[in-house]
Structure 1
Amino acid sequence: MNALTVTDLTATYGPVRALDGVSFEVAPGCVTAVLGANGAGKTTLLRTLSGLVRPIAGTAHLGGTDLLRTPAEEMTRTGLAHVPEGRGVIAELTVRENLRLGALGAPRGRRGRFDLPRIYELFPVLGERRDQVAHTLSGGERQMLVIGRALLAEPEILLLDEPSLGLAPRVVAQIFALVRDLVDTDGLTVLLAEQNARSALSIADRGLVLGLGRVVADEPAADLADDVRLRDAYLGN
């Protein structure tokens, strides 16, 4: 299992510096929550690590792999899987067909922790709806589907962007509990970008707080949860 190491990462959107010298490390087998208000740089950070945004400076390595020199379409081969914000599924395909697409990106020879039966075990509702087309699913079921699809690529590290967005609290709690279990049981590493700081910190080992593209804090999750001043200034909940 490899650590993710990011050093002085800088990225822009036009004249806006969305990431400004961001440095941190994600330890293997843990959840690191990336927190901050809208516009803090959370989504840009995940998109840059997965090759969707090209930075103007800095480095990012997953073990010995230089992520910033890896094309986005090759990223799953490195052991990184990205679940973007928005629960993007192929609406016309069935649940099973959507899931099988994830397995196409699995690196050859990697130990198979996840297959279709395991995904159905993790998300029983997907097993029940395996032959339904994806557009018939609820928002929570679609979120489960995109996470399941990403797991079938056999990642070392999973990037999750705002998985709680627009979901009922009960569903959020279910998904976050599953993420924590994947770390504890399967040794998965998770980088979780969330505006819902309270829920994210409840399952995280470490928290990284961004403010206007810069690292404001990088501390154990329990310490961040107890820091009232930081919470009021940057997290909002």
Structure 2
Amino acid sequence: MSAALDIRSVTAGYGAEPVLHDLDLSIPDGQVVTLLGANGAGKTTLLRAVSGLMPTTGSVHLRGRDISRLDPEQRVRQGLAHVPEGRGVITELTVDENLRLGGLWRHDRTTLRQHIDAEYERFEPLARRRHALGHQLSGGERQMLALARALVATPDVLLLDEPSLGLAPQVVHTIMQTLRQECDRTGLTVLLAEQNAASALSVADRGVVLHLGRIRTDGPAAHIAQDDALRHAYLGY
């Protein structure tokens, strides 16, 4: 199985002391891989390193192409999408304008409209509020919008940081099921950083547990979910 995302010997941090230490991770096409671990484990840092938002040593390959020297915008053009923690919605724009922004690199306007309409079908609350401004949305609606905007771009690899944070369980369920269905339907690859371990593992193929910037465990999601010692030590449930 080919690797959609291949992370090799990545070291990254915010100062003199690295957060990630010589980390290797390879993710095949069409998988959901969830990054788990406590605050400070390095989950967000890894996503930011992959998307080019911080100084990094090592290399990142997207579908076999080395994107390590590309800036974040160029990585988006190559098929990488990143939904950061905090939802990332542009609050001064309407729902529809945010979705159109997701397809900024598309040249076929008809295809873009079809993808936007597909997201409205998927997320009915957004369809009802398509003319509302971002700041008028609830937290759950903003998270749906951030995810929908990323999917409009039809990325090869989606990086998603803490999508369940502060949301009602039903909204979390909708978002997690959307990820699983999209991977199964289109072959999308997802790297999901999440503290809600039980929810993330329920839709993931693999779980990767980070501890102090290093991989503590990497294995099938179902096995990690059933490992009582691992859950109590690192996952908090």
Divergent runs of 4+, >2 A: 105-108, 111-114
Once the two structures are superposed, what CA deviation does each residue of 1:188-209 show, in whole Å capped at 9, x if it has no partner? Answer: 1111000111110000000111
1:47 matched to which residue of 2?
A: 48
Query: Counterpart in 1 of 2:4?
Result: 3
1:90 aligned residue: 90
* Partner Cα distance (2:77, 2:102) in 1: 12
Amino acid at match of 2:55: R
Of 60-69 and 213-222, the range deviating more from structure 2: 60-69
Matched residue type, 1:199: S
Aligned-residue offset at 1:142: 0.2
Q: State the 1:113 CA deviation.
A: 11
Is 1:191 the equivalent of 2:202? no
Displacement of 1:114 after TM fit? 6.5
Deviations 1:174-229 (A, max 9, x none): 11111111111222111100011111000000011100000101101011111111
Structure 1's unaligned 5+ residue stretches are none
Shift of 1:65: 1.9
In 2, are the aligned partners of 1:112 and 1:154 still within 8 Å (CA)? no
Listed as ranges, the matches of 1:19-98 within 5 Å are 19-55=20-56, 57-98=57-98
Give the TM-score taking structure 2 as reference length. Answer: 0.94
Q: Secondary structure at the match of 2:192?
A: strand
Runs of 5+ unmatched residues, structure 2: none
| Contact 2:100-2:112 within 8 A present in 1 as well | no
Q: Contact 2:52/2:72 (CA < 8 Å) preserved in 1? A: yes
Alpha-carbon deviation of 1:53?
1.0
- How is 1:153-168 mapped onto 2 (pairs within 5 angstroms)? 153-168=153-168
Displacement of 1:107 after TM fit?
Answer: 8.1
Query: How far did 1:112 drift?
Result: 7.4
| Identity over aligned pairs, percent | 56
CA 1:18–1:89: 2 relative to 1, 3 Å: same
- Greater CA drift, 60-69 or 44-53: 60-69
Cα distance 1:18–1:113, how it changes in 2: closer, same or farther (>3 A)? farther
SS at match of 1:25: strand
Matches within 5 A, 1:88-167: 88-106=88-106, 115-167=115-167
CA–CA separation in structure 2 for the residues paired with 1:46 and 1:213: 12
Provide the secondary structure at the position in 1 that maps to 2:68: helix
Contact 2:4/2:156 (CA < 8 Å) preserved in 1? no
Say if 1:206 and 1:125 are closer, same or farther in 2 by CA, change over 3 A.
Answer: same
Counterpart for residue 219 of structure 2: 219
Q: What CA deviation, in whole Å up to 9, does each residue of 1:77-126 have, x standing for no partner?
A: 11110000001211111100011001003488xx9796111111111111
8 A contact 1:106–1:154 mirrored in 2: no
Q: Check whether the contact 1:76–1:107 (CA below 8 A) recurs between aligned residues.
A: no
| Structure 2 match to 1:204 | 204
SS in 1 for 2:148: helix
Q: TM-score, normalised by structure 1?
A: 0.94
Superposed CA deviations along residues 43-93 of structure 1, whole A, max 9, x for unmatched, are 0000000000121x2111012321211111212111110000001211111
Instruction: For residues 129-169 of structure 1, give each alpha carbon's deviation from its aligned partner in whole angstroms, at most 9, with x where no partner exists.
Output: 11111111100000010111111111011110000001011
Q: Which amino acid aligns with 1:53?
A: M
Equivalenced residue count is 234
Q: Note the aligned Cα RMSD (angstroms).
A: 1.8
CA contact (8 A) 1:113 1:154 kept: no
